[in-house]
Structure 1
Amino acid sequence: MSSQKAPLQRSRLLTQVGFFVLFTLTPLFDLFRYDLTERHAYILTYPWHLGIDDLLAGGNGQTAAVNILLYLFLPLLGLAALIIGIAWKWGRLYCGWLCPHFSVVETLNRLMQTASGKHSVWDKHATPPWEPDGRPARRDRRYWLLVVPAALGFAFLWAVVGLTYLMPPFQVYHGLLTGTLYRGEVIFLVAATTVLSLEFLFARHLFCRFGCALGLFQSFAWMVNKKAMVVGFERDRLLDCADCMGGHGSACDAVCPMRLKPRNIKRWMFACTQCAQCVSACASSNQHNPDGQLLHWVSGDAAKRNEAGFSALSQRDEDAGARR
């Protein structure tokens, strides 16, 4: 990538690594988890009770209902409102900048692309043999020896971390080190590792696009706001963008980890994670272009004009096709 845009992707990588570490360590310090053995949650090291013990013992149901409202539904609604509010204005920033699953998606994409020239086993065509800045893209089939172990390793890590959100973390790690895990813990780890390994290898993009409830709700919120931040495209310079990789397509199409076409209208970019890899790639491929790059983040009225221009361009193309 060009020096102009590299800092953006470096910053994103740092936030992803930091959040992945937080995701892993959160149960260890009781920052957030639900303990099945103690039957209550921990939040910021404090036990989180719903206050329904009296109800379970045959006591006052009204008090329990108030406690459930105050200690369960209101916090969940507040968290949901925060996530949806951010998505309404800026899109799926959580997915592209924080989500531990998306970090795995991008890591496996890079390994698989080096091994095969494709981000996914389902891609029909290989990506260009050059990086956006013109450097030869690395291709080495020996990387297949890393793809499968990496998927298995990430799956096992996710399974272990997921278990520590439900069982005492130090008990889980001690059981792993000494081989004294409980039968239920072993079943959980085997099942979760198997399912996640298959998902990481074959369906990671499909899960992000169609299977993740958090991602879908963010996308719906983003689609509602016509002024939300979106990748804008300078339509008047379409010829400069059509084939910036010298006969091998466009750089922005090649780098999108969600396998989208970044120059499309917003409704076809429903699953965009705002990772800005397309923007960075455009900057790299146009680093010697005196007119600069064609893709930019835009918001507000500029986002509305961008969408209106796309719609007009699409209608013009449809009309031209009908006349032909």
Structure 2
Amino acid sequence: MKQPNQRLRTLTRSAFFALFLVAPVLDIFRYDLTAGHFVIFTYPLSLGLESIQGNDAALQILLRVLLPAVILIAAGIWIAYRFGRLYCGWLCPHFSVVELINGRMEKLLGRPTIWEAGSKPHSVSSWLILVIVAVLIAFTWAVGLLGYLLPPLELYQDLLTGELGFTSWLFLGVATALFTIDFLFARHLFCKFGCALGVFQSLVWMMNPKALMVSFDAGRAALCKDCDKACDKACPMRLPARSIKRKKFTCTQCSECIQACNQVQKDNPDGSLLHWGNGDPRRSSDADKIIPSVDIGAQK
């Protein structure tokens, strides 16, 4: 199977993050608390049932609410069943922040999370920069989310002029604080255990033995002895990239591990040991015996 292009993933997640921020401004999608209805593609979403009764009202509910919901859910289930958490790795705005904070933390502290050992000395300035970045992103998120509930142009104008109401300021303050804590300390935990959409995709993905996943060429495992676990270190979710499927339950299909292995094996004519494939070729009882031996060798 053709290996993924990280430039394409950067483009898709950046475009979706931008869409996440501008959707309420352009009236693509939002819920207007002041009017009490959804706005989709500039049109108020109203069932128009005021003058309809009986069977006609039931038909309108079926066509305008239930049928679109069923189609959307069915499409999501099919994508998750075939490709896993593709939305998480290629579109999700939260996962984009996870990777961004990982990169900043790696640059400033020499580690992608606060829970791992670092290669750089801790300094107050590094932590200060990291906290400022997290707070700015968290505040942007809070303002963006509030724009889904209040008329966004009025919200931004009130924010710039300082005329925002107490309730709105309270929302922004609480949301910014919660997002900052999440981004600094619990972003991976949220993706793994706190995101209902992500966990649902993982559960559906695990049901398909032929689903898309990152596969490891265990027959060439000896090549890993000269590597410093580059694939594991590259994983934004901190997963064992060479392990079997059940140990990569929360894999987001971002393919960063494949990219890392490609770099390590760039001079190898046989190429990377990791690749996208359909199903796990190592589902036998011996699979758990193969991977630990690889990890021990990688500690050389």
| TM-score relative to the length of structure 1 | 0.83
Contact 2:244 2:283 in 1 (8 A): no
Shift of 1:316: 7.2
Partner of 2:15: 18
- Which SS does the other structure have where 1:190 is aligned? helix
Report which stretch shifted further, 68-77 or 23-32.
Answer: 68-77
The yes-or-no answer on 1:264 pairing with 2:243 is: yes
Q: Which of 165, 177, 192 is the matching residue for 1:182? A: 165
The yes-or-no answer on 1:80 pairing with 2:73 is: yes
What percentage of residue pairs aligned between the two structures are identical?
48
- Which SS does the other structure have where 1:308 is aligned? coil
The yes-or-no answer on 1:308 pairing with 2:287 is: no
CA displacement, residues 239-298 of structure 1 (integer Å, 9 cap, x when unaligned):
2124413xxxx1101110001001111111010000000000000011122332100000
Paired residues for 1:98-109 under 5 Å: 98-109=91-102
Q: Which amino acid aligns with 1:313?
A: A
Residues 1:211 and 1:243: Cα distance change in structure 2 (over 3 Å): farther
CA displacement, residues 15-68 of structure 1 (integer Å, 9 cap, x when unaligned):
1111111111110111111101111111111111134556xxxx8476555444
Count of aligned pairs: 290
The yes-or-no answer on 1:110 pairing with 2:103 is: yes
Shift of 1:206: 0.3
Structure 2 unaligned segments of length 5 or more: list them. Answer: 293-300
Report which stretch shifted further, 8-17 or 209-218.
Answer: 8-17
Report which stretch shifted further, 191-200 or 59-68.
Answer: 59-68
Q: Which amino acid aligns with 1:254?
A: K
The yes-or-no answer on 1:228 pairing with 2:211 is: yes
Report which stretch shifted further, 71-80 or 83-92.
Answer: 71-80
Paired residues for 1:1-324 under 5 Å: 8-53=5-50, 60=53, 64-123=57-116, 125-126=117-118, 142-245=125-228, 250-299=229-278, 303-304=279-280, 306-308=281-283, 311-314=285-288
Shift of 1:8: 1.4
CA displacement, residues 192-233 of structure 1 (integer Å, 9 cap, x when unaligned):
111111111110000000000110111111111111111011
CA RMSD across the alignment: 2.4
How far, CA to CA, are the matches of 1:264 and 1:176 in structure 2?
49
Partner of 1:133: none
Q: Which amino acid aligns with 1:100?
A: P
Contact 1:84 1:218 in 2 (8 A): yes
Contact 1:115 1:139 in 2 (8 A): no
How far, CA to CA, are the matches of 1:140 and 1:167 in structure 2?
42
Shift of 1:140: 8.6
Q: Which amino acid aligns with 1:13?
A: T
Contact 1:113 1:139 in 2 (8 A): no
How far, CA to CA, are the matches of 2:176 and 2:42 in structure 1?
28
Residues 1:271 and 1:232: Cα distance change in structure 2 (over 3 Å): same
Residues 1:235 and 1:164: Cα distance change in structure 2 (over 3 Å): same
